[in-house]
Amino acid sequence: MNHQEPLSAVQFRKTSLATVVALATIAFATIGPSTANGADPCSTTSSGGLNLSKGECQPFAKARLVDGKAIAPASAPLRVKRVINWANRIRNKPYVYGGGHASFKSSGYDCSGAVSYALRGGGFVSSPMPSTGYMNWRTRGRGKWITAYSNSGHMYMVVAGLRFDTAMTPGNGPGWSRSVRSIPGSFSVRHPAPF
C-alpha cells in the first residue's frame, strides 16, 4: 500500500516556488526577450551592422498575399498596417525612374519612391528620399515588422514578412512578393525602432 505523507508548509512553498519558476520560464520562452525585458534584440548589432539576434526579429505574425495584395496580420501594430495599406494603393502603378521623389503622389514610382510612399502611410518619413537616404535611416539592423534594404542603386523593404519592391515582383512597378530576397548586391539594413 502506497501511503503519502501530507506536505509540510516548507515543502509546499518549495513546490509552489518551483512551479512559479517553471511557468515564468515557459512564458519568457513563449513571449521572447523583446517583450519580456523591454530590450529590442532586433537592434542589437555589432559595429559592422551584423544583426546578432537569432530569429527574434521575425514578425509575430506574417502578412498574407492574396491576388497581389498584402493583407496585414490582425496582430500587427496600427502603423505597420498603414504602411501595408499605403503600399497596396500603389502596387499596380508603373515603374517610373525618379517617380515619387518630387512628391509622394506620382503617376508611377521607382524603388525608393515606392518605399517612401508606403512608409509615409505609417508616419515613418515626412518626405520622399532616394535609396542613398535610407542607407543611414533610423536604426541599424532588421526590425520585427519593417526592414529597409538600400544601396546606391536600389532599395526595397520587408514588411510583416513580405517584400515590397519594384524588382522581381509581378508587373512593371511596385509590388509584393513572398520571396524576401531582391536583386543581388550588398545592402544597408535599417528599421524604424521598435518596429
User: How many domains is the chain partitioned into structurally?
Assistant: 1
Give the contacts of 109 (CB within 8 A, at least 6 positions apart). 90, 93, 95, 96, 99, 100, 117, 166, 173, 174
168 falls within a domain: yes
42 falls within a domain: no
pLDDT for 126 = 97
143 falls within a domain: yes
103 falls within a domain: yes
129 falls within a domain: yes
Q: Which of 118, 185, 180, 189 is nearest to 147 (CA)?
A: 189
Q: Find the domain containing 71 and state its range.
A: 57-191
15 falls within a domain: no
Question: The domain that contains 118 carries what CATH number?
Answer: 3.90.1720.10
Instruction: For 102-138, write each residue's pLDDT tens digit.
Output: 999 999 999 999 999 999 999 999 999 999 999 999 9
39 falls within a domain: no
Q: Which of 139, 158, 148, 69 is nearest to 112 (CA)?
A: 148
pLDDT for 111 = 97
Instruction: For 147-191, write each residue's pLDDT tens digit.
Output: 999 999 999 999 999 999 999 888 899 999 999 887 888 999 999
111 falls within a domain: yes
Instruction: For 11-21, write each residue's pLDDT tens digit.
Output: 544 444 444 44
Instruction: For 74-99, write each residue's pLDDT tens digit.
Output: 999 999 999 999 999 999 999 999 99
pLDDT for 124 = 98
